[in-house]
Amino acid sequence: MRPVISLLIAVSASIGSVCAFAQKPATLTFETHAAFFSTETDQAAPLDPQVFVQAVGTPTGRGPQGIDHVGDIRNARVGDSGALPIYNAHGKPLVMNLGEWLGARGTVTLEPRNDGSERIDVSLAGLQPGAEYSLFENHFDTHPIGFTPLDGTGQSNSFAADSYGVARVTVTAPKALTHDNAVLVVFHSDNQSHGEMRGDVGINAHHQLIARIP
């Protein structure tokens, strides 16, 4: 019986190692929402569907994400000059240029908990100093794609960047995220948090960074 017992012990140890590995934190790098959206929708020229630049003579219209915009502006393109000021869909300045908008960066570390929840640590730089942001979870398994506060309640998912444009935030998601999900950083150009809601996308809420779970 000893060989069988030894085999069972070895298998048990192996399973334990796999489980332990599965619980290790995973760190992902954010990409701009503009790049993510353009890849996912096969845009011929990569663009940002939620921020705009001046384009005198452009009529009112609807962008590729269904956001209606006023005239004389168009969706910002990734290849545009970084010095161009950016605007919301109503033509209101967003108090930064395109280079600053696309220059945001950061990482997210996900650590599953034994109770099924997940600790999520977000580290960001290149944000608008003092501006208001929030963290949301994408649900790619719903149609249309759904969005919920990363903390599940909208109580602890909002934060402000410091005077250097840096932010470090920790939230607990009620369930571990899967490939059906992503961590989304939303910029609020009205400088207000919106609790369980993102706000009016393209007007006072703008997706800036995203990290889809592998």
pLDDT at 19: 38
The three state secondary structure string of 179-196 is CCEEEEEEEECCCCCCCC
Question: Of 142, 137, 208, nearest to 177 (Cα)?
Answer: 137
What token pair was written down for 148? 């919920």
13 CB-side CA count, 13 A: 6
pLDDT at 155: 96
pLDDT at 20: 35
Are 213 and 179 within 8 A, CB to CB?
Answer: yes
Tens-digit pLDDT profile for residues 89-126: 999 999 999 999 999 999 999 999 999 999 999 999 99
Q: What is the pTM of this model?
A: 0.89
pLDDT at 23: 67
pLDDT by 10s per residue, the chain, length 214: 444 333 333 333 433 433 333 468 999 999 999 999 999 999 999 999 999 999 999 999 999 999 999 999 999 999 999 999 999 999 999 999 999 999 999 999 999 999 999 999 999 999 999 999 999 999 999 999 999 999 999 999 999 999 999 999 999 999 999 999 999 999 999 999 999 999 999 999 999 999 999 9
Alpha-carbon span 132 to 110, nearest angstrom: 23
pLDDT at 105: 98
pLDDT at 10: 38
pLDDT at 17: 34
pLDDT at 173: 98
β-partners of residue 133 are 159, 187
Alpha-carbon span 195 to 137, nearest angstrom: 13
pLDDT at 24: 80
